Chains A and B, each alone.
Chain A
């Protein structure tokens, strides 16, 4: 396992560089930021000064070499927008997103396991129909819309929750509920699917014939089969959340990396964008390694180190 881990980490280095090079080059295709940062009536002289001051007049390769030189010295550049250290801004925003994503996923997995198992006990039964309807609907509602409706209902009409912000535990409820729906909806369907087929396996029938009840059959026998696929998918969904909490963060004023990223893209704040992408990329790579390892642990079939039988 350790050898595998080391190999994966080493082999992730190059893709990380590719990501940064790609972001670097693509970001610079979106135009010179000068007019965003200078007054509308700025003279050409001022534009040239700005461009030169930020090294944007250099050829792309030179800029890139400078950047990577800086990265080696742990200097990720400065934000055009705030003048702060880009890496510091990214590091400050990242935990907020991570907490949101992790809490959401834990809840989504637990809820989905319960609902999915319940539905799988009687395929095509009432519980199954209801839960699959709910989960499909949950997975197909636009999140920004849900967020705004949530604020309207729970914060304004009922007054139970704060509209937005990060102060106090109650402020977590709406963002998490909004983020939760899609992973929950997808996971329910997955857990249900794998439970249904697990429950039709011979050993389950054997267990039932020995008098095991529904609950016991599910928790003691079938759950393991459901857990492996659910965990894999959950991992991938988490990746999606880390990258995709932008909308929720934007609406709820959550100071996370998604909001930082969209702002720095729209504001052409290249250094911050690169730092944020690098950080999330590292996190996603790490998560992918964890997923693969977790999966290998739970399901020996695709253990990556095994040689062909």
Chain B
């Protein structure tokens, strides 16, 4: 403290040096990306909820990947119309079953990949082989095809045959999940930026910041209205909504009813259904009356109206309308607290230990207002006389309860599940959720399993009927599920743009269906 001659110079030297260094630094790198504030009119700016982990075509059944890649960069052989549920030609123009286990596809001519190579049966066969029969461990393989290998053969340039081990009436539907890539694609590694036949090709990917697509001149179909698409991502839904409101983005995915997006919000059924899945291997849920009581105790109307502003629909089964096998004659369990209480009392009188704890297992932030919903359910089940403990878990931990092998020693579990059937056929739901060995099923019965196996092998009207019966049977005799609601998604859409979202918009956002307003 003695010398007080030059302290100020010294004291200020550090901050001054630091600020020079910082200003120097900040001049480069991050801040350097071009001004995104006012984008050109020929660009669609989309804001997603997360950065795609990869754009690999064989992982495009992952929502965050598919929303960018599918039908924009790459295309499937066959595509499912999300509104009608019917299959439509894309890179294949026609297909038919040529035997019990063999399907023959005719391919579109005159299509080229973005790298200039032609699309032909060889490329189609390569795509199927790569995704389904290789060691890559593609997500789509497990999701759509399971363990079964497929035998593919390019008969000639435009003809392809696919042979399955077992008869598979919905093979064309399964094929609609495969995005076609050229034979130059690596078979030993996954490819982060694929080449496809779609209307857009990948321009650039600034990791952590944005992905840019630009329209491709050699596209076989109609030229899309927008020349470029730019994807960014923000994890807070209120920020995504704000970006549309403030004109920084044209399309915002996955908004919540409370984001106050106003008339820029567009509702669409997103095919997701919320339900409680109950473990009948543990008391007290091992008594069907308790599982019925759970169904009666939940005020689904109240939840839908209060938490979701009436936009969701009360659910009576795991799949919404539009999915093959949806049973429209079913209606949701009525809310009847007295009935629930008396069922619990009845079970108790028969010696069921109704005071045993039921863990209500919920994944935090899985969908808007899930925390609120979980607390409502806990309260309502407690009202019915059950002892419910709420467990909010993060994704990875929740998965140990959600899929086999299930976490052990947890007592009775009621797990909140959000199920989205992207495929459009109830088999994708029932096989997983209702077979006694299903990956996401706690239990089943031999008769029920037989019904499901029969439905899986059926086709046409029989198939539809068979699955409808399955949903009715689950509600009458099995009661593994307490269905809550079919959800409605909200998409933020700028005034400058016209787009009509459909049930698959969350998985496959087609830029080519967007046009400038007026």
Nearest opposing residue in chain A for B431, CB measure: A41
**Would you call B1 an interface residue if the criterion is a C-beta within 8 Å of the partner chain's C-beta atoms?**
yes
Chain B 38-76 per-residue mask, 1 if CB under 8 angstroms from chain A, else 0: 000000000000000110000001000000000000000
A interface majority secondary structure: helix
CA distance A38 to B190 in the complex (A): 15
Given the interface contacts A36-B396, A40-B439, A99-B26, does A255 sit within 8 Å of B209 by beta carbon? yes
B139 pairs with A39, CB closer than 8 A: yes
B233 pairs with A253, CB closer than 8 A: yes
A168 pairs with B37, CB closer than 8 A: yes
Given the interface contacts A46-B137, A166-B209, does A40 sit within 8 Å of B432 by beta carbon? yes
B395 pairs with A36, CB closer than 8 A: yes
B8 pairs with A39, CB closer than 8 A: no
Nearest opposing residue in chain A for B4, CB measure: A221
Interface residue ranges of B272-302 to A (CB < 8 Å): none
Nearest opposing residue in chain B for A172, CB measure: B31
**Would you call A98 an interface residue if the criterion is a C-beta within 8 Å of the partner chain's C-beta atoms?**
yes
A106 pairs with B15, CB closer than 8 A: yes
B4 pairs with A220, CB closer than 8 A: yes
Among A4-12, A64-72, A118-126, A154-162, the stretch in contact with B: A154-162
Q: How many residues of B contact A (CB 8 A)?
A: 64
CA distance A288 to B25 in the complex (A): 21
A30 pairs with B22, CB closer than 8 A: no
B246 pairs with A39, CB closer than 8 A: no
Nearest opposing residue in chain A for B419, CB measure: A40
A152 pairs with B242, CB closer than 8 A: yes
Q: Say which residue of B12, B192, B236 sits within 8 Å of A84 (CB atoms).
A: B192
Interface residue ranges of B371-423 to A (CB < 8 Å): 394-397, 399-400, 402-403, 405
B232 pairs with A294, CB closer than 8 A: no
B29 pairs with A156, CB closer than 8 A: no
**Would you call A50 an interface residue if the criterion is a C-beta within 8 Å of the partner chain's C-beta atoms?**
yes
Given the interface contacts A35-B399, A152-B242, A164-B239, does A224 sit within 8 Å of B439 by beta carbon? no
A150 to chain B, nearest CB (A): 11
CA distance A306 to B395 in the complex (A): 53
CA distance A44 to B404 in the complex (A): 9
Q: Say which residue of B34, B54, B142, B248 sits within 8 Å of A83 (CB atoms).
A: B54
Q: Say which residue of B25, B232, B395 sits within 8 Å of A95 (CB atoms).
A: B25
Given the interface contacts A83-B192, A98-B25, A268-B396, does A50 sit within 8 Å of B242 by beta carbon? no
Nearest opposing residue in chain B for A171, CB measure: B31
| B34 contacts across to A, CB distance below 8 A | 167
Chain B 7-41 per-residue mask, 1 if CB under 8 angstroms from chain A, else 0: 11011101100110110011001110111110000
CA distance A207 to B4 in the complex (A): 10
B238 pairs with A148, CB closer than 8 A: yes
A30 pairs with B396, CB closer than 8 A: yes
A223 to chain B, nearest CB (A): 5
B137 pairs with A53, CB closer than 8 A: yes
Nearest opposing residue in chain A for B189, CB measure: A83
**Would you call A219 an interface residue if the criterion is a C-beta within 8 Å of the partner chain's C-beta atoms?**
yes
Q: How many residues of A contact B (CB 8 A)?
A: 79
B113 to chain A, nearest CB (A): 22
Chain B 194-212 per-residue mask, 1 if CB under 8 angstroms from chain A, else 0: 0000000000000111000
A162 pairs with B208, CB closer than 8 A: no
Q: Say which residue of B18, B243, B395 sits within 8 Å of A163 (CB atoms).
A: B243
**Would you call A23 an interface residue if the criterion is a C-beta within 8 Å of the partner chain's C-beta atoms?**
no
**Would you call A214 an interface residue if the criterion is a C-beta within 8 Å of the partner chain's C-beta atoms?**
no
**Would you call B159 an interface residue if the criterion is a C-beta within 8 Å of the partner chain's C-beta atoms?**
no
Interface residue ranges of A244-265 to B (CB < 8 Å): 250-256, 259-260
Listed residue (A30, A45, A224, A267) with the most chain B CB atoms within 10 angstroms of its CB: A224
Given the interface contacts A155-B242, A163-B243, A255-B30, does A39 sit within 8 Å of B209 by beta carbon? no
CA distance A102 to B23 in the complex (A): 9
**Would you call B313 an interface residue if the criterion is a C-beta within 8 Å of the partner chain's C-beta atoms?**
no
| A83 contacts across to B, CB distance below 8 A | 54, 189-190, 192
**Would you call A298 an interface residue if the criterion is a C-beta within 8 Å of the partner chain's C-beta atoms?**
yes
Q: Say which residue of A96, A110, A224 sits within 8 Å of B4 (CB atoms).
A: A224
Interface residue ranges of A152-209 to B (CB < 8 Å): 152, 155-156, 159, 162-172, 201, 203, 207
**Would you call B473 an interface residue if the criterion is a C-beta within 8 Å of the partner chain's C-beta atoms?**
no
B143 to chain A, nearest CB (A): 4
A39 pairs with B397, CB closer than 8 A: no
CA distance A84 to B193 in the complex (A): 12
A33 pairs with B396, CB closer than 8 A: yes
A166 pairs with B147, CB closer than 8 A: no
**Would you call B460 an interface residue if the criterion is a C-beta within 8 Å of the partner chain's C-beta atoms?**
no
CA distance A175 to B397 in the complex (A): 31
**Would you call B505 an interface residue if the criterion is a C-beta within 8 Å of the partner chain's C-beta atoms?**
no
Q: Say which residue of B4, B207, B438 sits within 8 Å of A255 (CB atoms).
A: B207
A253 pairs with B396, CB closer than 8 A: no
| B53 contacts across to A, CB distance below 8 A | 81-82
B246 pairs with A99, CB closer than 8 A: no
**Would you call A225 an interface residue if the criterion is a C-beta within 8 Å of the partner chain's C-beta atoms?**
yes
Given the interface contacts A31-B397, A151-B242, does A96 sit within 8 Å of B22 by beta carbon? no
**Would you call A286 an interface residue if the criterion is a C-beta within 8 Å of the partner chain's C-beta atoms?**
no
A34 to chain B, nearest CB (A): 9
B242 pairs with A106, CB closer than 8 A: no
A41 pairs with B192, CB closer than 8 A: no
| A89 contacts across to B, CB distance below 8 A | 207
Given the interface contacts A95-B25, A231-B14, A266-B394, does A38 sit within 8 Å of B142 by beta carbon? yes
A-B contacts, 7 of them at CB < 8 A, read A38-B139, A41-B431, A83-B192, A103-B22, A162-B37, A162-B248, A170-B37
Having A42-B439, A167-B34, A172-B31, one finds 14 other A-B pairs with CB under 8 Å, namely A33-B396, A36-B396, A39-B61, A39-B139, A42-B142, A46-B137, A81-B53, A98-B25, A106-B18, A110-B19, A148-B239, A162-B248, A253-B232, A253-B235
* For the complex of A and B, 9 pairs with smallest distance between CB atoms: A255-B208, A224-B7, A167-B36, A39-B142, A227-B11, A39-B143, A41-B439, A35-B399, A102-B22
